[in-house]
Amino acid sequence: MSNPQQLRYSKEHEWLSVAEDGVSTVGITEFAANALGDVVYAQLPAVGDTVTAGETCGELESTKSVSDLYAPVTGEVVEANQDVVDDPSLVNSAPFEGGWLFKVRVTDEPADLLSADEYTEFSGS
Protein backbone atom coordinates (compact mmCIF):
# COMPACT_ATOMS: atom_id res chain seq x y z
CA MET A 1 0.00 0.00 0.00
CA SER A 2 1.25 3.47 -0.63
CA ASN A 3 0.31 6.73 0.97
CA PRO A 4 -0.12 9.53 -1.61
CA GLN A 5 2.76 11.99 -1.49
CA GLN A 6 0.60 15.11 -1.90
CA LEU A 7 -1.37 14.46 1.31
CA ARG A 8 -0.49 15.09 4.92
CA TYR A 9 -1.36 12.74 7.75
CA SER A 10 -2.32 12.71 11.42
CA LYS A 11 -1.20 10.16 13.98
CA GLU A 12 -4.87 9.16 14.30
CA HIS A 13 -4.61 7.91 10.70
CA GLU A 14 -6.53 10.67 8.94
CA TRP A 15 -5.29 12.25 5.75
CA LEU A 16 -5.65 15.88 4.75
CA SER A 17 -5.46 17.30 1.24
CA VAL A 18 -3.69 20.48 0.21
CA ALA A 19 -6.13 23.34 0.76
CA GLU A 20 -7.90 24.81 -2.24
CA ASP A 21 -9.42 28.21 -1.46
CA GLY A 22 -8.82 27.36 2.21
CA VAL A 23 -10.78 24.09 2.04
CA SER A 24 -9.15 20.70 2.65
CA THR A 25 -10.58 17.22 2.24
CA VAL A 26 -10.29 14.70 5.08
CA GLY A 27 -10.37 10.92 5.01
CA ILE A 28 -8.85 7.93 6.74
CA THR A 29 -5.80 6.14 5.41
CA GLU A 30 -5.76 2.77 3.71
CA PHE A 31 -3.81 1.46 6.70
CA ALA A 32 -6.65 2.55 9.02
CA ALA A 33 -9.34 1.20 6.69
CA ASN A 34 -7.62 -2.19 6.58
CA ALA A 35 -7.29 -2.25 10.35
CA LEU A 36 -10.98 -1.49 10.80
CA GLY A 37 -12.27 -4.11 8.38
CA ASP A 38 -15.52 -3.55 6.50
CA VAL A 39 -16.95 -0.17 7.48
CA VAL A 40 -20.72 -0.49 7.83
CA TYR A 41 -21.73 2.86 9.28
CA ALA A 42 -20.24 6.32 9.12
CA GLN A 43 -21.35 9.13 11.35
CA LEU A 44 -19.78 12.25 9.86
CA PRO A 45 -19.75 15.80 11.17
CA ALA A 46 -22.56 17.98 9.79
CA VAL A 47 -22.10 20.93 7.48
CA GLY A 48 -21.61 24.01 9.66
CA ASP A 49 -20.06 22.07 12.56
CA THR A 50 -16.81 23.36 13.94
CA VAL A 51 -14.24 20.61 14.37
CA THR A 52 -11.13 20.91 16.52
CA ALA A 53 -7.79 19.36 15.70
CA GLY A 54 -7.20 16.21 17.74
CA GLU A 55 -10.81 15.96 18.94
CA THR A 56 -13.45 13.48 17.88
CA CYS A 57 -15.90 14.59 15.22
CA GLY A 58 -17.68 11.40 14.23
CA GLU A 59 -17.40 7.64 14.24
CA LEU A 60 -16.80 4.75 11.90
CA GLU A 61 -18.37 1.43 12.70
CA SER A 62 -17.01 -1.82 11.31
CA THR A 63 -17.94 -5.46 11.76
CA LYS A 64 -15.94 -5.79 14.93
CA SER A 65 -15.79 -2.38 16.51
CA VAL A 66 -16.58 1.29 16.48
CA SER A 67 -13.79 3.83 16.12
CA ASP A 68 -13.79 7.53 16.76
CA LEU A 69 -13.04 9.83 13.90
CA TYR A 70 -10.61 12.60 14.83
CA ALA A 71 -10.35 15.97 13.15
CA PRO A 72 -6.79 16.47 11.85
CA VAL A 73 -7.28 20.27 11.75
CA THR A 74 -9.53 22.94 13.22
CA GLY A 75 -12.18 24.56 11.06
CA GLU A 76 -15.74 24.59 9.79
CA VAL A 77 -17.19 21.61 7.95
CA VAL A 78 -18.40 22.68 4.53
CA GLU A 79 -19.35 19.28 3.09
CA ALA A 80 -19.82 15.69 4.28
CA ASN A 81 -19.53 12.84 1.81
CA GLN A 82 -23.09 11.59 1.36
CA ASP A 83 -21.80 8.76 -0.86
CA VAL A 84 -19.97 7.32 2.15
CA VAL A 85 -23.02 7.71 4.39
CA ASP A 86 -25.03 5.78 1.78
CA ASP A 87 -22.30 3.22 1.08
CA PRO A 88 -19.70 3.09 3.86
CA SER A 89 -17.75 0.36 2.03
CA LEU A 90 -16.25 3.18 -0.08
CA VAL A 91 -13.98 3.85 2.90
CA ASN A 92 -12.48 0.39 2.35
CA SER A 93 -12.47 0.31 -1.44
CA ALA A 94 -11.18 3.83 -2.07
CA PRO A 95 -9.95 5.41 1.16
CA PHE A 96 -7.89 8.10 -0.60
CA GLU A 97 -10.47 8.86 -3.29
CA GLY A 98 -14.23 8.20 -3.31
CA GLY A 99 -14.11 7.25 0.35
CA TRP A 100 -13.19 10.76 1.57
CA LEU A 101 -15.21 11.81 4.61
CA PHE A 102 -15.64 15.58 4.84
CA LYS A 103 -14.31 18.94 3.67
CA VAL A 104 -13.26 21.55 6.13
CA ARG A 105 -12.46 25.27 5.88
CA VAL A 106 -9.22 25.23 7.85
CA THR A 107 -8.71 27.93 10.49
CA ASP A 108 -5.86 26.28 12.34
CA GLU A 109 -3.71 23.25 11.93
CA PRO A 110 -1.41 21.50 14.36
CA ALA A 111 2.33 21.59 13.77
CA ASP A 112 2.74 17.84 13.98
CA LEU A 113 1.01 16.67 10.80
CA LEU A 114 3.14 14.09 9.00
CA SER A 115 4.38 13.86 5.46
CA ALA A 116 3.60 10.73 3.46
CA ASP A 117 7.02 9.28 4.19
CA GLU A 118 6.79 10.10 7.88
CA TYR A 119 3.32 8.55 8.08
CA THR A 120 4.47 5.43 6.26
CA GLU A 121 7.21 5.01 8.81
CA PHE A 122 4.87 5.87 11.72
CA SER A 123 2.22 3.33 10.71
CA GLY A 124 4.62 0.70 9.50
CA SER A 125 2.63 0.61 6.28
Partner 1 sequence: MSSNAPRLTALDALHRSLGATMTDFAGWDMPLRYGSERDEHLAVRTRAGLFDLSHMGEITVTGPEAAALLNHALVGNIASVGVGRARYTMICREDGGILDDLIVYRLAENEYMVVANASNAQVVLDALTERAAGFDALVRDDRDAYALIAVQGPESPGILKSLTDADLDGLKYYAGLPGTVAGVPALIARTGYTGEDGFELFVAPSDAEKLWQALTDAGTPVGLVPCGLSCRDTLRLEAGMPLYGHELTTSLTPFDAGLGRVVKFEKEGDFVGRAALQEAASRAEENPPRVLVGLVAEGRRVPRAGFSVVADGKVIGEVTSGAPSPTLGKPIAMAYVDAAHAAPGTAGVGVDIRGSHEPYEVVALPFYKRQK
Name which of 16 and 32 has its Cβ closer to partner 1. Answer: 32
**CB of 52 or CB of 92, closer to partner 1:** 92
Cα 10 off chain centre by: 9
Longest dimension (CA), the chain: 38
Q: Which is nearer to partner 1, 50 or 92 (CB)?
A: 92
Between the alpha carbon of residue 5 and those of residues 38, 44, 70, 96, 108, the distances in Å are 25, 25, 21, 11, 22
At closest approach, how far in Å is the CB of 39 from partner 1? 10
Candidates 23, 85, 43, 6; CA nearest to 15 is 6
State the nearest-atom distance from the C-beta of 79 to partner 1, in Å: 21
* Contact residues for partner 1, defined by CB under 8 A: 34, 37-38, 40-41, 43, 61, 63-66, 89, 92
Min CB(61)–partner 1 separation in Å: 5
